[in-house]
Amino acid sequence: MLSGTILISFAGALACGCLPRLSANAYRGIALTAAALGLTLALFAYLELLLQANLPTAIQLPWITALGIEFHLRADGISLILGLLTGIASVTGILFSWNIRHRVREFFAFYLTLIGAMYGVFLSYDLFLFLVFFELAIFPKYFLIAIWGSTRKEYGAMKLALYSFVGSALVLIGLLATWLAAGASTFNLLQLSEYSFSPEFQYWAFPITFIGFAVLGGLWPLHSWAPTGHVAAPTGASMLLAGVVMKLGAYGCLRFPMTLFPQGLELWRFEIAALAIVGIIYGGGAALVQRDFKYVIGYSSVSHMGFVFLGLMTLTEIGLAGAVLQMFSHGILASLLFGIVGRIVYDRVGTRDLKELENWQLAQRFSFAAAVFVIAGFANMGMPGFSAFIAELHVLIGAWQSFPSFAVLGGFGILVGAAYTVRAMVRAFFTERKPYVPVPAKPIAPLTLPERIGTYLLIAVTAVVGLFPDLLLNLIVPGIEPFVAAPPQTPGD
């Protein structure tokens, strides 16, 4: 069932790319149908595991037998949750891309290719196959930004691609070293996880592979591609970049180096947790001084991903569960915020400058945008009743158990998050216009049905998870149990 998410996405991309002379609405329909079918399959798999406690059937076929490479797809609770996130972000991203007029066929072909690659990363249990999908996600990101982007789009696209390739190169080095150290016989993650790598090997293999993945996860100081790429990308691509692509890096850290190199993890976890804390505070501080509305959300993503890495390094059940829940929560909220700022506001008024937005009096002229941003903003800063509150609370409790001083600093980071959210909210929507400055005469186009559906869906998801977090935590906790209080492996175990 889950393999269908990959096949449907790639089939949709192929249909958009190879069927010429169709109307723009036909390509939009193909893309939305493919994304909706992928979401449906992910939802069915989630319900199967939730209600029956049975993992969806895995696919395991020989591929390059001489190297021990297999086409191995499998899912646990963590990958199912992130697959569900991919489906939700994909559907809403297409709804918020309904206004694309330039080269519609190519846009949705690249978009669906990226979606299929993301599903592949979350479902791969062969490390070589994992890397193939991880690399496959790079090239559509580049073209989506370089062709359909806005602010410094060529620079943003190239910076994202270069950072991604450097990270992938580090991952490839770690992957090949792991394969050779394990006897050059298999890339199967389950088999490699049973192998006891020497402490000397783990001490250098862990940081190389972790850093390689952390580049895409936006860990400070490897984060600078993220705000630039998010701002340059078209709205739908921003939603996927911040909502899902950054989670590929964090998921890769959890699935590969943290699984295979426990002694290396124990050696480096304090340093990585410290970098996460710096990212939380730095990202929030940078967001606090931005004038570009989209840059505020871009740096906010760096800050929120810091909570993911902090939770991963706690190695406590509550902290690890919070990290995975934060991946899902931030994916939903980042998609919502970029949808509001990029499509609902910027595409209508033609500016993202907070000082210029003060003159638009959007709270009076476009009350829907103000209302949904207030909801999304309070949810993003950790208001109880929404998903971010539960996720960050779990992370901070886990951090208190492992790094008490970091928990305090993380709490300060939440206060900074509240400050930059309120500042952006007030300046964009609720600041009184100076009497000598005329109100812009440009009319504001009414909201479209796809935008309404996408907005309501994302708000509903973050509210449901915030009110009923066990819907996700009951699947997440079994997946993170191997990392909790696990004694380091020793050779010969």
SS3 call for 98: coil
388 burial level (CB within 10 Å; 0-12, 13-18, 19+): buried
Judged by phi (left if over 0) then psi (alpha if -120 to 50, else beta), residue 35 lies in alpha
Over its length of 493 residues, how does the chain's per-residue pLDDT go in tens digits? 677 889 999 999 898 888 888 888 888 999 999 999 999 998 888 888 877 766 655 788 888 888 888 888 888 888 899 999 999 999 999 999 888 888 888 899 999 999 999 999 999 888 899 999 988 888 888 888 888 888 788 888 888 888 888 888 999 999 999 988 888 788 888 888 888 888 889 899 999 999 999 998 889 888 888 888 888 888 888 898 888 988 999 999 998 899 888 888 888 989 999 999 999 999 999 999 888 888 999 899 899 999 999 999 998 889 999 999 999 999 999 999 999 888 888 888 888 888 888 877 777 778 888 899 999 999 998 888 899 999 999 999 999 988 899 999 999 999 999 999 999 888 888 877 666 556 666 777 888 899 899 999 999 999 999 999 999 998 888 888 777 754 434 333 3
CA 70 vs CA 49, 67, 74, 181, 308: distances in Å? 24, 9, 12, 19, 30
Residue 69 lies in a domain: yes
Residues 486, 188: Cα–Cα separation, whole Å? 21
Residues 385, 27: Cα–Cα separation, whole Å? 38
Residues 370, 491: Cα–Cα separation, whole Å? 59
155 neighbors 248 (Cβ within 8 angstroms): no
Residue 490 lies in a domain: no
Residue 301 lies in a domain: yes
Per the structure, the count of domains in the chain is 1
Q: Phi first, then psi: give them for residue 61, nearest 5 degrees.
A: -125, 145
173 neighbors 250 (Cβ within 8 angstroms): no
Angle in degrees, CA 98, 347, 285, rounded to 5: 115
Buried b (16+ CB within 10 A) or exposed e, 398-427: bbbebbeebbebbeebbebbbebbebbbeb
Residues 207, 198: Cα–Cα separation, whole Å? 15
- Determine the longest span between alpha carbons in the chain, in angstroms: 78
Write out 360-389 in H/E/C secondary structure: HCHHHHCHHHHHHHHHHHHHHCCCCCCHHH
Residues 332, 318: Cα–Cα separation, whole Å? 21
Amino acid, single-letter form, for residue 230: H
Residue 25 lies in a domain: yes
Amino acid, single-letter form, for residue 316: T
Domain encompassing residue 236: 3-483
Residues 278, 265: Cα–Cα separation, whole Å? 19
Q: Phi first, then psi: give them for residue 380, nearest 5 degrees.
A: -70, -30
Residue 241 lies in a domain: yes
332 neighbors 249 (Cβ within 8 angstroms): no
Q: Element (H or E) spanning 275, and its range?
A: helix 262-288
Residue 119 lies in a domain: yes
Residue 493 lies in a domain: no
Would you state the pLDDT for residue 440? 66
Would you state the pLDDT for residue 193? 83
The Cβ of residue 195 has, within 10 Å, a number of other Cβ atoms equal to 15
Closest C-alpha to 59, from 76, 75, 41, 74: 74
Residues 106, 341: Cα–Cα separation, whole Å? 24
Would you state the pLDDT for residue 488? 39
Residue 492 lies in a domain: no
Give the distance from CA 130 to its chain's centroid.
Answer: 17
Residues 336, 393: Cα–Cα separation, whole Å? 21
